[in-house]
Chain A
């Protein structure tokens, strides 16, 4: 069964750092596009970042220079390093597998990041 399980969310102060993890099972992470998508409380979906199978990475302007997407092939795990976080980064963060391109299924269950002092 293809499955994604996120972890690492929590309460963090503005300006702090946090690393989210997304453990994959049932498929190989580095053979797929993998994205992070977030959803602020009560709001819609916002794409954050992608790492393509070849290793190229892209970011939303709102996180560029602050967040870094990466993967560990030995652990079959996707990461999102979040630095210099802001209140507006508060959201549920989902990881998702790209199917052949940039349409996504499945998605993980999400991990909540709350940025507050």
Chain B
């Protein structure tokens, strides 16, 4: 199975900060990576697919990059609505696997 490792697991930041979350795959997954945002008690929401393609309706302050084994999700200017948990997911190979999540907290 492909292991997905996110860092950090928790991140404290302020409104307006630039935030970067890293996701590493245990083997190359090309660009077959998605990012999701999840708020407490809610279902995940797709943000990015194919590593860097922004889903329709997602604010442009979100961006994804990377290929192979290392990927990043960047929020250029953190907004109050962005405090949530973020997950990466590989879809190169079954079983599909998720990272452990990164919780973005208010500093």
Interface residues in chain A, defined as those with a beta carbon under 8 Å from any beta carbon in chain B: 35, 37, 44-47, 50, 58-61, 94, 96, 99, 101-110
Contacts and interface: CB of A to CB of B under 8 A. Distances in A.
Across the A-B interface, the 3 shortest Cβ-Cβ residue pairs: A102-B91, A105-B46, A107-B43
Task: Identify whether the interface residues of A are mostly helix, strand, loop, or mixed.
Answer: strand
Interface residues of B, number: 23
Interface string B71-107: 0000000000000000101010011111111000000
A100 to B, nearest CB: 8
Contacts of B101: 44-45
Nearest to B42: A109
A103 B95 contact: no
Nearest to B85: A44
Nearest to A44: B101
Contacts of B18: none
A50 B43 contact: no
B45 interface: yes
Contacts of A44: 87, 98-101
Interface string B24-65: 000000001010101000011110011000010000000000
A109 to B, nearest CB: 6
